[in-house]
Amino acid sequence: MANWSSKITGYYSKDESAGKRDGCITPALYENLETEYRLVRRGIGLGDYSYYGKIKVAGEGALDLINRMSLADISRVPINRMMSSFVLNEDGSVLCEIYVANYADYYLVLSEGAGPQQLLARLQAAAEQQGEGTTVMDITESQALFGLDGPFAWELLKMFMGAGVIGIRYLEVVTGNELEGIPFTLYRTGKTGEYGYLLQTEAANAVALWQALLQKGQDFHLNPVGYQTIDRCKLENRFINMHQEGVLAKHVLELNTRVMISQDKDDYVGCKAVEAAIQNGIERRLIGLVLADAAAAQPDPVAAGDSVYCETEKIGEIANAGYSYTLQQSIALAFIKVDYAYVGLDYQVQGEAGRYQVRTVSGPFQPRLSSIAACKSAHRKTATLTRCNGGQYRHGHDFFLEPPYCRHHRHRPYLSDRRHGGGSIAKYPPGAQRLQRDPFL
């Protein structure tokens, strides 16, 4: 499959210079990283995930076929649920990350990290070996996939799907939905630490659904976000980025994925390498670092590939790095020798412009699941946005997101437009409620 453009890329008249992922031309950013980041953290970010590979596997042998490719045991996925897993190479490194959705009649594999044609080729080859009874079909370009991420994502969906949206469990699949007559399937997912959903529709309906979401989401400050924004949120929340640490991992167990392995699962690609690693141990594993050094207060002081030292001994390499707008400091992930990969230790990173002091920290970096969940720790009762000024809520004053129901978080600088020269007005539907629950429960 050559490079292709999603319908949304075409809608914004973007070309390859805007960005490309897994062979799909799709914008890395629509505006700028900080603006889009704040959208995800306090409103809703609308992302185009159409670049995900989408492969339908049907027939009697479908489960065995996918399980032969998957690290996790797919037989544990109930109907209308999905599971996150990895497809490995024989040496135990990762080809791609997958979601496998069980539609009863077939499985849909959503992949990220490798061009869909690579996974397709593997599945087709395995299907041929298996003989008749299993069909593998690539529907990547005929289906669009959008993401809604942010503390208000569920409220937007509630407007046209009803209050039952909040009952949808993490990794649940809900079919038969419509927005303005456009059918879509909803997946409860999310890798940003906020409420997250994927919406799948026919590619022919992609632009219409995108426009309808933009229109419906106006009151929630919904705007498009590119994949770089989602990547930064993933980094803060320690979700694996298949285009950074995922591709740099020499072995899947370096990514802290041990609990994903099923002891009673049949053979799968990479199984021998995984068993050997369990038996003999791995050399390094991924751990979070924060750059506490004042000298690191510059854009991107460290980058993937930079070396990590304990005094004079090289103990690892940076795998991913970026600035956390929430923590207001540079953060990084590094593959560190397992004997040194513990939290609360001080090491050094040799960046391009100098050597910086770093401290190992627990994952995730982002201390809050969402502003909603953060409110939970301070309050016990359901929070309701209090209307002021005729149903309008003012950023940067005591109304938007935090107060009046969460006075504990007034000090959060990233939530206050006032400190960033803002002060715009946001409208919310009268009586809109914010839930106080963990997005993953």
Partner 1 sequence: MNEALRTAIAKRKEILTGIKDELIDRLQLDYQVDDIDDDTFLFGGGLSLNSIDAMEIIIGMQSRFGVMLPEGDIAAMRTINTLADFVQSQA
Q: How far is the CB of 283 from partner 1 (least distance, A)?
A: 15
- Contact stretch for partner 1 (CB under 8 A) within 53-61, 218-226, 386-394, 432-440: 432-440
CA angle 171, 172, 178 (to 5 degrees): 125
Instruction: From 39-47, 200-208, 316-324, 356-364, give the range in contact with partner 1 by CB under 8 A.
Output: 356-364
- Among residues 4, 12, 340, 414, which is the contact residue for partner 1, using CB under 8 A? 340
CA–CA dist 299, 226 (Å, integer): 20
Please give the helix or strand (H or E) that residue 9 lies within, else none.
helix 7-11
Q: Tokens 């309050």 correspond to what residue? A: 379
Q: Where are the beta strands (DSSP E) in 209-272?
A: 222-225
Which of 104-112, 202-210, 223-231, 374-382 is the region at the interface with partner 1 (rule: CB under 8 A)? Answer: 374-382
Of residues 310, 391, 408, 429, which one binds partner 1 by CB under 8 A? 310
Q: 415 by DSSP, 3-state: which?
A: helix
Among 369, 383, 401, 415, binds partner 1 (CB under 8 A): 369
Helices marked H in 190-226 — which ranges?
Answer: 206-216
Query: How is residue 136 annotated by DSSP?
Result: E
275 is a site residue for partner 1 (CB under 8 A): no
Note whether 258 binds partner 1 by CB under 8 A.
yes
CB closer to partner 1 out of 215 and 377: 377
Of 343 and 388, which has the nearer Cβ to partner 1?
Answer: 343
438 forms part of the interface with partner 1 (CB under 8 A): yes
* Residue 162 CB-density burial (10 A; 0-12 exposed, 13-18 middle, 19+ buried): exposed
Number of H helices, E strands in the chain: 10, 24
Helix H segments across 379-440?
Answer: none
Q: Which is nearer to partner 1, 132 or 339 (CB)?
A: 339
120: closest CA among 44, 56, 28? 56
Q: Is 282 exposed, middle or buried (0-12, 13-18, 19+ CB in 10 A)?
A: buried
Restricted to residues 171-230, the positions that interact with partner 1 (CB under 8 A) are none
Q: Where in 75-134 is the site for partner 1 (CB under 8 A)?
A: 84
> Strand, helix or coil at 295?
helix
**Contact residue for partner 1 among 7, 158, 238, 412 (CB under 8 A):** 238
Query: Residues 69, 90: contact at Cβ < 8 Å?
Result: no
Encoded one letter per residue, x for contact with partner 1 by CB under 8 A and - for no contact, window 161-180 reads ---------x----------
183, 363, 391, 403: which one binds partner 1 (CB under 8 A)? 363
Pairing of β 4-5 and β 24-25: parallel
Q: Using CB under 8 A, pick the residue from 343, 353, 388, 425 that binds partner 1.
A: 343
Contact footprint for partner 1 (CB under 8 A): 84, 170, 238, 256-259, 261, 285-288, 310-311, 313, 339-340, 342-345, 362-364, 367-369, 373-374, 376-377, 380, 438-441
